[in-house]
Amino acid sequence: IAPVEREREREKTKTDLEKMMASNASSTMTTMVFRPTVSNSSSVVASSSASSSSSAAGRRSPIMQNNKFSNNNDEKNRILNRRRREKRITRGNLAVNNAITRPEIDWSKLGFGLTETESMYIAECTIDGQWKVGSIHPYGNISVSPSAAVLNYGQGIFEGMKAFRTPEDEIVTFRPDENAKRFAEGAGRMSMPPVPKDIFEDAVKKVISANRDYVPPVGVGSLYIRPLLIGTGAILGLGPAPSYTFLIYVSPVASYFKGGQLSPIDLIVEEDYHRAAPGGTGSTKCVGNYSPVLKVQLQAKKEGFSDVIYLDAKENKYIEEVSSCNFFVVKGKTIATPALEGTILPGITRKSIIELARDKGYTVEERKVGLDEVLSADECFCTGTAVVVVPVGSVTHRGKKTVFCDGKIGATGQMLYDELTGIQQGRLKDTKGWIEHVPKDYHL
């Protein structure tokens, strides 16, 4: 915002404050409460009430009756929040509006749907320029040109991360340096300017700090963090976008699959469609990799399965991935998982589980894993930022269902889940340097 506009903003805020003070003195109050809808929708619920008499006050909702001003600071914060909700922020070719404020969330009903939060992070860069530190903005819709490269040619990548609340009420995030590294590698694959590691990690901590109130209580869930790098510059012919936007938004989440975090999932093997092919973008978290899996995933869910296992595109007999997570097979004290050969996403949870398993005395092999090996395994499980560690209850291939551990979680999966989440949530000592603490008010 230009200096003149900032001065006008301050003057208007000052005037609003003076009016509010006078209103309070005459016992006249106008209150507006904004509440985020905890669902997969993007709507915002607004309630308003104005009263100048006891009869009008009786018509106010309980929330509004309790929403009284206690001191000048409360009044100032309320007006500043309202002004922030109302103003429109325009940066380059991207506009942000419709911000919302603090949450009223029923944590017991939390799932893996979108809950809009208060703030997001935005930075911009031209293709021949350098990234600069961005800033926190009210969460809201964005607008881009219809000819933006991300809309026309899918030039975009994203990441998945989480922040946790510890028993000491500290906020931490898990291995952000690894996400920064993968994000930069993905940018290179998609011909976009990589976001420097220091800017990426700083941005992640700022957006977590700004949305601290949305981090669920210990053991209830986590704050899912979604960094995006998208070509927002307008372009008609096929080519890299002239400009890019680095954006991070967050949402509190709980279990990814229905039934709860450690409920075993039922998978079906897909033999006609493939997730990725050699020489493609299977190892990149690019936006175009995920919609193609929906066709078979939705059909599988109609048939009662949780998700789909994909085979390799070359020989159609080796396990690659489930739609959004890595796959592991357990046989005795040996754990096998498909090797990273360009078609499989190098999961950060995958990498962490491999290290934890080796620490516990398991032999972990990264290699080709045949379907026959899966069907004869003692135990199978999947890993990912969203799913954490989830047991595989059964695998169905050509109509034949193979059940593992009587449809319950196996001992190995349970142990690794406990170790991983114990470190993430601060219940176990972090001896590996995986946890990054987020100071309170870091974004200010």
The token duo for 379 is 């135990």
Cα separation values, 164 from 250, 403, 413, 427, Å: 12, 33, 21, 11
DSSP-assigned letters across all residues of 303-354? TT-SEEEEEPTTTS-BEEEETTBEEEEEETTEEEEE--SSSS---HHHHHHH
Q: What Å distances lie between residue 96 and 10, 100, 235, 244, CA to CA? A: 20, 12, 22, 16
CA distance 102 to 442: 18
Q: Which residue has the tokens 């989830």?
A: 390
Cα 428 to Cα 421: distance, rounded to the nearest angstrom = 8
Whether residue 400 lies in the annotated active site: no
Q: Which of 162, 205, 206, 285 is catalytic?
A: 285
- Single-letter amino acid, residue 85: R
Residue at token pair 């300017």: 193
Question: Within 211-252, where are the H helices?
Answer: none
Whole-number Cα distances in Å, 219 to 258, 420, 436: 17, 13, 18
The answer to whether 144 and 151 are in contact (CB under 8 A) is: yes
Residues whose CB falls within 8 Å of the CB of residue 125, separated by 6 or more in sequence, listed in order: 131, 132, 193, 243, 244, 246
> Annotated active-site positions, please?
285
